[in-house]
Every structure is written in structure tokens, then in C-alpha cells.
């Protein structure tokens, strides 16, 4: 039996999780443009059938429109918290921490702590990213008093899946807001972003890119090198 203050082992599949618990997940981690968004959701057994009927599952397996619709319903059904890390703040934190997994742990810990302030959860389930101690160390006192299960494919758990949908919906909303701010449609992902990144760089250099993009991605170096070469030519 696991004792409090211990991090659970990380099996290849999620163990059966029963009873009230909290789940956390993020969106935007692999997207060059946009916020990093972390959500935490608390569910009880009475929520489970309702969540399944709503179509709650890993946001990577549903259309954006479905994620947005389900997120609206979730907000009125379960206790939750969403941490929004703007590109500017993300770049500041990344420069300070120099480690994406530590940055993720910081975001997850804040969302988890904010929910724990409102509900007495004793169990938290989160996807595993990097060293499992990153999240444990990032949690404050209240978070360190719960059992923490970090495991690959944690989205199999309903609470984590609900968190993934909330995070995805907020990521999409904030990406639209950033697009409106710069007057360009900022694409999702990181493979079809060069044209947009080059246009923004021409308008305002790395400073403008840093307002809407995660600068440590290789795209930034590629765009900067290309534009400097074009100017010399």
C-alpha cells in the first residue's frame, strides 16, 4: 500500500483509480505559438458516468470543437483550475529554469494547489514528464500531503482526460486572442509555422516573436538565421 508523501511507481498502464481524486494535464507544450496551459480537475464517483456520456477523453483524440463544447460543460460540473502561462512569461521562466520539465512541473503544481485549496483530495494523478521528482518538489505543503501518481498515458483516467480537454479549450481561446493581437492567424503545432514566424520576425524581430511564441524552439534560430542572411544578401 502506498503511504502519503510517496510518489507512486510508474507502470506502463494506469492502475485502477477509484474514489475522489484530482487529475492534471497540459496543452500547448508542443506548439510553437501560444500559451502553455495547465488544468487540474477534481472528480468524485458520482461524476464518472456523466463525464463519459459527455465524451470526456484525451483531448488529442477529439476535434477542437468537441474539446471546446465539453470544456464549457465541465466548468459548471466539477471543481477545476487553469493556469495560463503566456509566451512572454513562458520565455522568462524557461530562461530562469533552463528545463522544460521543471517549467511543466511548476505549472502543474500551481493548478493542483489551487484546486486543493477548495477540495480535500487525497490522490492526484498526472502524466509523467521527465524526472518524477520535478512535480513533487514543485508542490507546496498542501500538495505534498497527498498521494501523487505519475504515469505514462495518464489520460486514461477521467480526471486527467477532463483536465486535458479544459487545457486544450483554453489554449485554443488564447491562441485566437494572440492571433487577433498581431493580426495574423497563428498556426497550431510546430511543423507549419515558418512562414508566420518569418513575417512576425520581419515586423518586430525576436522581441515580437517572444510575445506570441516559445523562443527556445528551433524555429526561432532558423527564422533568425534566414532573415539575417536575406538582409546580407
56 near 25, Cβ under 8 Å?
no
CA pair distance 202, 199, nearest whole angstrom: 5
109 near 140, Cβ under 8 Å?
yes
Alpha-carbon torsion (8, 59, 143, 146), positive or negative: negative
β-partners of residue 147 are 123
Grid cell for residue 141: 505543503
**pLDDT surpasses 90 at 31:** yes
pLDDT digits (tens, 9 = 90+) for 182-216: 999 999 999 999 999 999 999 999 999 999 999 99
In CATH, what class is 21-178?
alpha beta
Considering the chain, what is the average pLDDT of its residues? Answer: 88
Read off the pTM.
0.88
Kindly list the domain boundaries of the chain, sorted by start residue. Answer: 21-178, 182-232
Rg (Cα) of the chain, in Å, rounded? 19
β-partners of residue 81 are 40
What pLDDT, on the 0 to 100 scale, is given for residue 4?
37
CA pair distance 227, 233, nearest whole angstrom: 10
CA pair distance 37, 162, nearest whole angstrom: 14
Between residues 88 and 132, which one has the greater pLDDT? 88
Mean pLDDT of all residues in 64-74: 92
pLDDT digits (tens, 9 = 90+) for 129-166: 777 788 988 998 777 888 999 988 888 899 999 999 99
Q: Indicate the range of 28-42, 110-124, 125-139 predicted with least confidence.
A: 125-139
Name the band, by pLDDT with cuts 50, 70 and 90, for residue 127.
Answer: confident
What pLDDT, on the 0 to 100 scale, is given for residue 61?
82
**pLDDT surpasses 90 at 12:** no
pLDDT digits (tens, 9 = 90+) for 211-229: 999 999 999 999 988 766 6
Residue 134 exposed, middle or buried by CB count within 10 Å (0-12, 13-18, 19+): buried
What pLDDT, on the 0 to 100 scale, is given for residue 18?
72
Mean pLDDT of all residues in 10-27: 73
Task: Give the three-class secondary structure for 122.
Answer: coil
Name the band, by pLDDT with cuts 50, 70 and 90, for residue 59.
Answer: confident
Amino acid at each position: 500500500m502506498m503511504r502519503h508523501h510517496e510518489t507512486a511507481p510508474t507502470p506502463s498502464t494506469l492502475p485502477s483509480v477509484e474514489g475522489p481524486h484530482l487529475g492534471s494535464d497540459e496543452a500547448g507544450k508542443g506548439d510553437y505559438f501560444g500559451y502553455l496551459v495547465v488544468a487540474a480537475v477534481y472528480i468524485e464517483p458520482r461524476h464518472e458516468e456523466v463525464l463519459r456520456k459527455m465524451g470526456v477523453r484525451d483531448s488529442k483524440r477529439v476535434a477542437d470543437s468537441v474539446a471546446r463544447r465539453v470544456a464549457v460543460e465541465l466548468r459548471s460540473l466539477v471543481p477545476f483550475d487553469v493556469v495560463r502561462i503566456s509566451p512572454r512569461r513562458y520565455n522568462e521562466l524557461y530562461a530562469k529554469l533552463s528545463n522544460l520539465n521543471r517549467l511543466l512541473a511548476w505549472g502543474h503544481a500551481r493548478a493542483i494547489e489551487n484546486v486543493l485549496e477548495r477540495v480535500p483530495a487525497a490522490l492526484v494523478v498526472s502524466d509523467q514528464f521527465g524526472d518524477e521528482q520535478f512535480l513533487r518538489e514543485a508542490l507546496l505543503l498542501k500538495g505534498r500531503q497527498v498521494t501523487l501518481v505519475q504515469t505514462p498515458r495518464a489520460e486514461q483516467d477521467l480526471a486527467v482526460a477532463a483536465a486535458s480537454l479544459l487545457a486544450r479549450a483554453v489554449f485554443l481561446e488564447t491562441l485566437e486572442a494572440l492571433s487577433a493581437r498581431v493580426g495574423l492567424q497563428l498556426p497550431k503545432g510546430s511543423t507549419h509555422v515558418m512562414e508566420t514566424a518569418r513575417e512576425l520576425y520581419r515586423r518586430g524581430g525576436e522581441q515580437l516573436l517572444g510575445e506570441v511564441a516559445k523562443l527556445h524552439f528551433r524555429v526561432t534560430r532558423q527564422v533568425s538565421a534566414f532573415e539575417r542572411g536575406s538582409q546580407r544578401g
